[in-house]
Structures are given as structure tokens and as C-alpha cells.
Chains A and B, each alone.
Chain A
Amino acid sequence: MATYPSTPRFIFDGEIITKKGALRSESEAGYTMSRPRYTKAKKSFTLNYTAIKNEDYAILEAFFEANQGSNFSFSHPIDPSKSYTVTFAIDELKAKPVSAGRCSTVVELIEV
């Protein structure tokens, strides 16, 4: 399984979402019955790359092209000891030029 590139480094204003759904049923008497919808919570990650070099963007782009649709491992720098099996949650990788030779992009990953 491929590993998500550790360079370029993204900045930490992205998001880490932990998703675990629940079924809730509200009664007319005012109480609510609830139970989890499934057993394991899943994470999703939004990674913001701001003003990275074009050659660094090329690394991301090459990885995106090679691994779109498949699963790969990813560790977030907040807790490098944990590794997640994820896939891209986006269909398009967009580069926004910010200055000569630099651009910004956002990558979204979702745990499978």
C-alpha cells in the first residue's frame, strides 16, 4: 500500500473530523431514544497547503494521479504513531497560483 507523501508539509489550519453517526428517535413525551449507527468511528482530514513550491505541488499531483480511487496509508503529524488507511475524498486537485513559482492547494482524505 502506498504512503501519503510527508513532503511538502501542510499547515495546521486544516480539519480533522471524527465521524460516528447515531440513530435518534424523539418521542412526543419529550424523551429521545438513541443508539450508535455503527461500531467504529471514521476520520476525515482536510490538509491545507499554502504557498508551496511548484515542484512540491508536482509531488502531490503525481501522488494524486497514481493513487486516486485506491487506498493508502496516512499519518497526521499531530499523532504520527497512528496510521490510517485513507482514500481521496476529492475528484479534483486544484492549484491556486499565489506568486511566481508557488501555489496553494487543499487535499481532503477520508478513512475507509
Chain B
Amino acid sequence: MEQLKLTTIADLNALGTYSVLLVALEINIPSTPTIYVVNNSENINFQGNEYMAFPFEIGEISAGKGETPNFQILLDNTSRAMSQYVMTYDAYLKQNGIDGNGITCTAYVLNTNDLSEAVLTEYFQLTNFNTDNKTATFNLGTESLFNKTYPPRKMYANFCSFKFKDARCGYTGELLTCNKTLSDCRARKNSKRFGGFMGLGGGYRE
């Protein structure tokens, strides 16, 4: 465990103090700018990044039998900014696949008397999310082997499991999107490398 400065330890143990302990989140959603938010009444600068004052709640950690521990982060979605991020991410996943493109979140506990270090740092991975008109809810947890895809590659009749433009896809043209179907692959003149299994579930597909 990282050694805290003596001044920070003194602040944490003081009976009364001017310092505020704040929870800050760094949320990395592939394809969107990194989100820096802090549950405070004004913005905070930490490690060269400006954490925006933004209302959010952190739920209780639940750890049922046979489940990995997980908890919820509820971010305010009144401005619908989070919905926009989530929709952009959804479109990104359709093009690029989920492998290596999960949402990660770093939670910091900060002591405002000394913002050169975090009192506590924890890393989480997103397990699922949803949004409504008031909140964006992210379920975060640790990586579970039970959630790993096995076998690593599944067989679908009309869905290519390759990442668009990666080595297995091999497309080098100008188009930027692909909806993973054979017809889209043909439109890109790349159907020789289509990653679906057309013979499955009733034969040839469009």
C-alpha cells in the first residue's frame, strides 16, 4: 500500500479540520473524452486534470454468494450529457467490438489540503449501465472469470466477430464504419475475409 504523507495522516486523524475529503472519478469511456468529475461544490485540479463539480452518488457494495463484489455509481443526467456519451460508446462498440473496449473507472478520495496525492485510489470495470432522464447508472465491479467469453470466438451466421480494420478484418479502404453483416462486407469488397459462419442455422445468408 502506498505510504501517505504525514500531513495527510494528521489531517485524516484531526478532530476538526479545514480539509475536505472528496470523492473524484475518472471515467474512461472509449471513443469519448475522459470524464473527470468530483462530488463537490466547485471544480478541483488534481494531477493536471480539472475535475468538474458534478453531482453523483456511490451506492453500497454488494457481494452476494457466488458473485463478485459490485456497486453502482449514479451520475446526474439532467443535461443528458451522459446519455450522449453512452450512445456514442454503443455505436463505437458495434464497430469495434467489446474486447479491450470496456469502460473503466478510477475512484479517488482526495484531501483538499494536499492535492498532490490521493488518500485512496481504486480501479473498477464497468459490468453494465443504463440511463434515464435523471441519472446514468454505472454498475462497477471487479473482473470476474465467470464473465469471460469462452470459447474466445463465438460462431454467428451473419455477424462478423472481427474488429473493423484489424489484422483479421484486413479492410484498408476509406469507409469508417461497418455493421458486421456479410452485405456490408461485400459492399467493402472484403467478403473473402468475412468473419461470420454463413452455413450456420439454415444455410446461406444475405
Chain A interfacial positions (CB closer than 8 Å to B):
31-42
B7 beta carbon closer than 8 Å to chain A: no
- Give chain B nearest CB distance to A75 CB in angstroms: 20
A-B contact pairs, 5 of them (CB 8 A): A34-B17, A35-B20, A36-B18, A36-B19, A40-B42
- Give chain B nearest CB distance to A26 CB in angstroms: 11
By a CB distance below 8 angstroms, the chain A residues around B14 are: 33, 35
By a CB distance below 8 angstroms, the chain B residues around A35 are: 14, 16-17, 19-21
The CA-CA distance from A99 to B15 in the complex, in Å, is 57
Q: Which of A32, A38, A39, A41 contacts B15 (CB 8 A)?
A: A32
In chain A, what residue has the closest Cβ to B16? Answer: A34
- Give chain A nearest CB distance to B73 CB in angstroms: 18
The CA-CA distance from A39 to B44 in the complex, in Å, is 9
Other A-B pairs beyond A38-B41, A39-B41, 19, CB < 8 Å = A32-B15, A33-B14, A33-B16, A34-B15, A35-B14, A35-B16, A35-B19, A35-B20, A35-B21, A36-B18, A36-B20, A37-B20, A38-B39, A38-B42, A39-B22, A39-B42, A39-B44, A39-B112, A40-B40
The CA-CA distance from A62 to B2 in the complex, in Å, is 57
The CA-CA distance from A42 to B112 in the complex, in Å, is 18
The CA-CA distance from A32 to B19 in the complex, in Å, is 16
Chain B 106-118, CB-CB to A under 8 Å as 1, else 0, gives: 0000001000000
- Give chain B nearest CB distance to A84 CB in angstroms: 13
Q: What 5 pairs across the A-B complex have the smallest Cβ distances?
A: A40-B41, A40-B42, A38-B41, A38-B40, A36-B20
The CA-CA distance from A41 to B42 in the complex, in Å, is 9
In chain B, what residue has the closest Cβ to A23? Answer: B21
By a CB distance below 8 angstroms, the chain B residues around A41 are: 41
Whether B15 contacts A42 by the Cβ 8 Å rule is no
The CA-CA distance from A32 to B20 in the complex, in Å, is 16
By a CB distance below 8 angstroms, the chain A residues around B18 are: 36
The CA-CA distance from A36 to B41 in the complex, in Å, is 11
By a CB distance below 8 angstroms, the chain B residues around A39 are: 20, 22, 40-42, 44, 112
Whether B22 contacts A38 by the Cβ 8 Å rule is yes
In chain A, what residue has the closest Cβ to B18? Answer: A36
In chain A, what residue has the closest Cβ to B11? Answer: A35
Whether A38 contacts B16 by the Cβ 8 Å rule is no
Chain B 1-44, CB-CB to A under 8 Å as 1, else 0, gives: 00000000000001111111110000000000000000111101
- Give chain B nearest CB distance to A97 CB in angstroms: 35
By a CB distance below 8 angstroms, the chain A residues around B22 are: 38-39
In chain B, what residue has the closest Cβ to A31? Answer: B15
The CA-CA distance from A57 to B17 in the complex, in Å, is 46
In chain A, what residue has the closest Cβ to B78? Answer: A69
User: Which of A37, A38, A40 has the most B CB atoms < 10 Å from its CB?
Assistant: A38
